[in-house]
Chain A
Amino acid sequence: MERLEIHDLSALFSVLKQDGYQIIGPTVRESAIVCERIQSVDELPAGVTDIQRPASYRLAERHDNALFGHRLGPQSWKRYLYPPRLQLFQAARTEKGITISPPTNGGAGDLPKYAFVGVRPCELSAIGIQDMVFARGTYVDPHYSAVRARIIVIAVNCTDPGETCFCASMKTGPQTESGYDLALTEVISAGSHLFVAQSGSDVGKELLARLKAAPASAEEIQRAEDLLDRASEKMGRSVDTYRLPELLHANIDHPQWDELDERCLSCGNCTQVCPTCFCSTVEDVTNLDGTEAGRWRKWDSCFTLEFSYIHGGCVRATTKSRYRQWMTHKLASWVDQFGTFGCVGCGRCITWCPVGIDITEEARAIRAQSTLLSTSSKGEM
């Protein structure tokens, strides 16, 4: 493992830019930490953290100058790999008939090369989950796969998880295990501020070599490990995953869903902030004289009434059925479909729910009032 200081991080930014990467990283915008294009280390949220609770998100000052001392903001990296709006094709009506062609701006030459800096372990797991959805199935989303193949991931392990975090119980954090090019652990102590760096790919190894990074000392590595060991204990929430898919499938008629019907506003915020939600709809647009038409894919939410509309009505007309669909998908049917949970424990849906519905509490309530699997042993699925 190597050690990087702040100036090495600046050098890393320069190297990435030289190689043609757009650097996307955390930065403060409008009282929130967002994932945006940044140019320098100065734009990282130094000394900023956030306090998150159900339905509450506030930035706060830290007592140190940590660059990654914050938790997750409302946005995930998803918007870069799976854009909220993407053109599928364009069509034109001519005298001879109609033509349908791929969007002109979708060529490989136009595809961005992103360097994601500051990807949290849970977020990296979320990318892995979306890989299963978009890139590993019978059908593949070509846009996702193409952008995905070109990214560099600089992960940053979590030493200071928040109140709405539960990645430890979903086994996606607080330390990343794979899928990164470089993984950093920020270590701050009196008089020193450095990152212990671990490469996870040839690209990562080469980056460290180009930065001429010095090896980290045994003491520095130990300090990073201690921080990560303590991180799990700081986590505010947990989900008992013991036979969780089976539990939810068996509780389609659980009274808790009726209870949720009273609270959930069906606003869809949880689906918009979720790093794994992948549902989309399409939109057809035409110009005023009707000679040109375009078809666009847009993020959608299973909380809308139209989502399940077929002739004769909506399949999921009640709010309770929509919340049940979403939560059962995340924690049960996703496992049947893709072999993993659709939840990484990032906690965003808890923070950004306007009425503070907490998926971990709902899962607990269902387990508690279920005749099936009411006793659990932790650590098994």
Chain B
Amino acid sequence: MHVSITSQTMLPHQYRVQRVRQETPDTFTLELHPMSEASAIRFVPGQFNMLYLFGVGEIPISISGDPRKSPTLVHTTRAVGTVTKAMRGLRKGDILGVRGPYGSHWPIASGVGRDIVIIAGGIGLAPLRPTLYSIVADRDKYGRVILLYGSRTPIDILYRRELESWRSRFDLEIYVTVDRALKSWRGDVGVVTHLISKAPFDKQNCLAMICGPEVMMRFAVMELLKRGVPDDRIYISMERNMKCAIGLCGHCQFGSLFVCKDGPVFPYPGVKDLLSKWEI
């Protein structure tokens, strides 16, 4: 595929902030709308955009909204760096630069007729939420649909209301665990990988999608393999430093892969050898 780009490629499109929602003490969600029809972005679950804040900087953020609600874009971010902290100060009506969408996507189509196992840690739930929207919209096509979600503490649980409403459905199985909690917490405590043995799914005929801290993904994969899930049914989403998102800046290299264009979603066999090494 040859997509020739003009100098426009590194030029962000202007999007207006429609809504800012504080999700947890350190995460927030931006709902954005393109200022011109031409700059509308259609994405597939798992892809990301580069968000540019005037004069401050540009960062890669996964798309966490519903793909069918295009052209509205939803991005959930943790305020941890210069750009994300400044973005937290955005208000309705403010303008943001957006370019994208970039990267590979979750192979949802390959999950048709299979059980779906989604495993998320912390903000890793954000790039997986679009898959839940898509799957729920086409619920009949899939077997069991299971979300295993781990967060640090109960107040760090992302999209809590939405998780509660999904959990109230009889056709979705939502498991939540936290690393630590006060006595008032009645749910599970422990790492998310412990939920894998509890969840009922057809190990031979499932699609597992994982996003979270690298160490959590490694252990989640190990647990799935132990359960007997074939390794080519497991997908993970990687994070690396990115400046261009189009494979030219070199920052996101992961072995021979460019996380921005070969990923961020990888079939596990393709990254197996790299994941087990430090500082790749």
Same complex for A and B? Answer yes
Q: A residues within 8 Å of B by Cβ?
A: 88-89, 91, 93, 97-98, 100-102, 106, 133-134, 137-143, 249, 252-253, 278-282, 284-286, 290, 293, 295, 297, 300, 302, 307-312, 315-318, 321, 324-325, 329, 332-333, 336-337
A277–chain B nearest beta-carbon distance, Å: 8
Q: List residues of B (92-150) whose CB comes within 8 Å of A's CBs.
A: 95, 97
Q: From the candidates A137, A281, A317, name the one contacting B247 in the complex (CB within 8 A).
A: A137
CA distance A336 to B262 in the complex (A): 12
* Chain B binding surface, main DSSP class: loop
- Which residues on the B side are within 8 Å of A89 (C-beta)? 10-12
Q: From the candidates A138, A249, A315, name the one contacting B279 in the complex (CB within 8 A).
A: A315
| Contact across chains for B2 and A311 when beta carbons are under 8 A apart | no
| Contact across chains for A106 and B7 when beta carbons are under 8 A apart | yes
- Which residues on the B side are within 8 Å of A252 (C-beta)? 277, 280
Q: How many A-B residue pairs have CB under 8 A?
A: 126
Q: From the candidates A91, A281, A315, A324, name the one contacting B240 in the complex (CB within 8 A).
A: A315
B243–chain A nearest beta-carbon distance, Å: 5
Of B49-57, B155-163, B176-184, B221-229, the stretch lying at the interface with chain A is B49-57
Q: From the candidates B6, B14, B80, B244, name the one contacting A311 in the complex (CB within 8 A).
A: B80
Q: B residues within 8 Å of A by Cβ?
A: 1-12, 14, 35, 52, 54-58, 78, 80-81, 95, 97, 213, 239-241, 243-244, 246-251, 253, 255-256, 258, 261, 277-280
Q: From the candidates B12, B95, B250, name the one contacting A279 in the complex (CB within 8 A).
A: B250
| Contact across chains for B241 and A100 when beta carbons are under 8 A apart | no
* Chain A binding surface, main DSSP class: mixed
Contact A280 to B250, CB < 8 A, known contacts A91-B55, A311-B80 = yes
- Which residues on the B side are within 8 Å of A312 (C-beta)? 213
- Which residues on the A side are within 8 Å of B54 (C-beta)? 91, 93, 98, 293
- Which residues on the B side are within 8 Å of A297 (C-beta)? 10, 249
- Which residues on the B side are within 8 Å of A332 (C-beta)? 256
CA distance A249 to B239 in the complex (A): 21
Contact A134 to B248, CB < 8 A, known contacts A139-B261, A280-B243 = yes
- Which residues on the B side are within 8 Å of A282 (C-beta)? 57-58, 243-244, 249
In the complex, residue of chain A having the shortest beta-carbon distance to the beta carbon of B254: A315
Contact A143 to B7, CB < 8 A, known contacts A91-B54, A318-B279 = yes
In the complex, residue of chain B having the shortest beta-carbon distance to the beta carbon of A137: B247
CA distance A285 to B55 in the complex (A): 6
Most chain A CB inside 10 Å of its own CB: which residue of B2, B14, B247, B280: B280
Across the A-B interface, the 7 shortest Cβ-Cβ residue pairs: A279-B250, A321-B279, A293-B55, A336-B256, A333-B256, A139-B246, A286-B55
| Contact across chains for B7 and A142 when beta carbons are under 8 A apart | yes
| Contact across chains for B249 and A300 when beta carbons are under 8 A apart | yes
- Which residues on the B side are within 8 Å of A284 (C-beta)? 55-58
| Contact across chains for B3 and A138 when beta carbons are under 8 A apart | yes
Contact A98 to B14, CB < 8 A, known contacts A284-B57, A329-B253, A337-B256 = yes
| Contact across chains for A102 and B11 when beta carbons are under 8 A apart | yes
- Which residues on the A side are within 8 Å of B6 (C-beta)? 142
| Contact across chains for A307 and B280 when beta carbons are under 8 A apart | no
Contact A325 to B55, CB < 8 A, known contacts A89-B10, A139-B9, A139-B261 = no
| Contact across chains for A308 and B14 when beta carbons are under 8 A apart | no
- Which residues on the B side are within 8 Å of A337 (C-beta)? 256, 258
- Which residues on the A side are within 8 Å of B57 (C-beta)? 282, 284
In the complex, residue of chain B having the shortest beta-carbon distance to the beta carbon of A337: B256
In the complex, residue of chain B having the shortest beta-carbon distance to the beta carbon of A280: B249
CA distance A325 to B240 in the complex (A): 14
| Contact across chains for B7 and A139 when beta carbons are under 8 A apart | no
| Contact across chains for A315 and B241 when beta carbons are under 8 A apart | yes
- Known pairs A300-B249, A300-B251; list 13 more (Cβ under 8 Å): A91-B55, A93-B55, A97-B35, A138-B2, A279-B249, A282-B58, A282-B249, A285-B55, A308-B241, A310-B241, A329-B253, A332-B256, A333-B255
